[in-house]
Amino acid sequence: MRPAFLGQAPKQLFIDGKWVQPASGETFETVNPSNGQVIARIAAGGTQDINDAVAAARRAFEGSWSRFTPYERQGVILKLAELIDRDFDELSLLDSMDMGAPLSRLRGPGRKRALGRLRFYAGLATTIIGHTIENSASREMLTYTVREPIGVIGAIIPWNAPLTSALWKIGPALAAGCTVVLKPAEQASLSCLRLAELCMEAGIPAGVVNVVTGLGESAGAALTQHLDVDKIAFTGSHLVGQKIIQASVGNLKRVTLELGGKSPDIVFADADLDKAVPGAAMGVFGNTGQVCCAGTRLFVERSIYDEFIERVANFGNSLVVGDGLDPKTQIGPVVSQEQLDRVLSYIQIGLDEGATTIAGGARLTEEGLSSGYFLPPTIFGNVRDDMRVAREEIFGPVVCAIPFDTIDEVERRANATQFGLGSGVWTRDVTKVHRLAKTIKAGSVWVNCYNVMDPAVPFGGYKLSGYGREGGVEHVDEYLNTKSVWVNYA
């Protein structure tokens, strides 16, 4: 089961509508985390390659792409969605091999999410409008606003959802009339390279979408510092996000950041536990915990704490952990040896700080799993709020189970974090719902559900979880400038 796209030769950079070798001639390996085997070699782009890609994006922005009407932009986005739908099995296979996600998840909700996003942005391409404004400066003066594309976008995405993350950057940029230089995560670049081919097949002009693979400290840094990049759209860790802000000062480029989290998921005693148990469990174990808004701080009302955590543990233990290509697999590996080491180090930190493992807690090494980067769903008990495992993002299938007594207490503790991306509330009490929906400091509050997404609904964070919104009409606004025009017709 090897997509024809992989071929035998190293994968190249995609710049100005062509496959090109990196200026350095260097490549790096991409590894299947389910078995530790090398899938392909990929071009290691650097500063010169970023310069070439930005120059191509600038030419396209000022040239052929600028002559596309909103209706024509909408048409090529819809065509791209059609091609992705046609080739989705191949694209999902590339992602599963590259970062380990189960094919069953990618081809089910993943397909709907990817296509829904593109089609939503296609609809927004023809709804970009300005306003006429009655001013008080003169009765013989017409004032109006025009919305214009920002320009060249540097898009940097993570490895936990390569295809859908790429579409979350490319879609609104194309709808607004911008051009893009995409830097995928080095751990999972393959579907983004295949996506570049589909962009050309859809009729998107050369230079509008460019893909430069490489390491963050070389290609990523060069993109964030580039003086001809008008905006950086980044998804990743808050530490890298802070570096991007510092790198953006050269030309004061626009920046939107969708960063990490340590999200509270709150379960009250009156909740429907038959729904709350799987909902809270998959809110942190889904995608092997490699989700920025995962509900990793599970607050449970004390009167049901023991029962609820036992049920979550049993649910986690029932999940099938295995190769992402196995149709029975529900939980795949973490993305790399480096990420495995990171999660295992946090598990040890938790134990050293006095937490106890209620479930999981060690690498899976039985037959069929020993060569991959597999961890079971892991639950920590005896967790204090000041522990590192309760404060820092682990990005693995690890949850801290914490009892609480009152709504006042859990409200305070839920907000006692430097992050603010997601949150959950499980209760039948509408008073609790509306109180916490108002007072929790997070960009999303899911009530009696978790991590539900829709392209029409904005998503983003508070505090160290970043700023700007992805999804909703607000998303395309992030790729537009507003120009005011004053016409003296006296």
Q: Look up 258 and say whether it is catalytic.
A: yes
What is the mean pLDDT of the segment spanning 267-295? 98
Distances (CA, A) of 53 to 23, 67, 219, 438: 12, 20, 11, 44
Distance, in Å, from the CA atom of 451 to the CA atom of 446, rounded to the nearest integer, reads: 7
Q: Residue 29 CB: number of other CB atoms within 10 A? A: 12
Confidence of residue 106 (pLDDT cuts 50, 70, 90): very high
Which residue among 178, 199, 258, 411 is the active-site one? 258
The matching CATH number, chosen from 3.30.300.30, 3.40.309.10, 2.40.50.100, 3.40.50.300, for 264-455 is: 3.40.309.10
CA distance 100 to 293: 19
Choose the catalytic residue: 178, 199, 292, 293: 292
Calpha distance 385→355 (Å, rounded): 11
Distance from chain centroid for Cα 31: 21
* pLDDT band per the 50, 70, 90 thresholds, residue 129: very high
Which residue is listed with tokens 């080095």?
A: 186
**pLDDT tens, 418-457?**
999 999 999 999 999 999 999 999 999 999 999 999 999 9
On whether the CB atoms of residues 187 and 30 are closer than 8 A, the answer is yes
Q: Which CATH superfamily is domain 4-259+465-485 in?
A: Aldehyde Dehydrogenase; Chain A, domain 1 (3.40.605.10)
Average pLDDT over the chain, rounded to whole?
97
pLDDT at 2: 79
pLDDT band at 320 (very low <50, low <70, confident <90, very high): very high
CA-based angle 356:342:381, to the nearest 5?
15
| pLDDT(472) > 70 | yes
Q: Nearest-CA neighbor of 157 among 115, 104, 111, 195? A: 195
Q: Of 216, 168, 219, whose CA–CA distance to 192 is shortest? A: 168
Is 411 catalytic? The answer is no
pLDDT at 1 over 70: no
Cα–Cα distance measured from residue 127 to residue 122, given in angstroms and rounded to the nearest whole number: 10
Could you give the residue range(s) of every CATH 3.40.605.10 domain in the chain?
A: 4-259+465-485
Position 7 scores a pLDDT of: 81
Start and end residues for every CATH 3.40.309.10 domain found in the chain: 264-455
Q: What is the pLDDT of residues 189-228, one digit of tens each?
A: 999 999 999 999 999 999 999 999 999 999 999 999 999 9
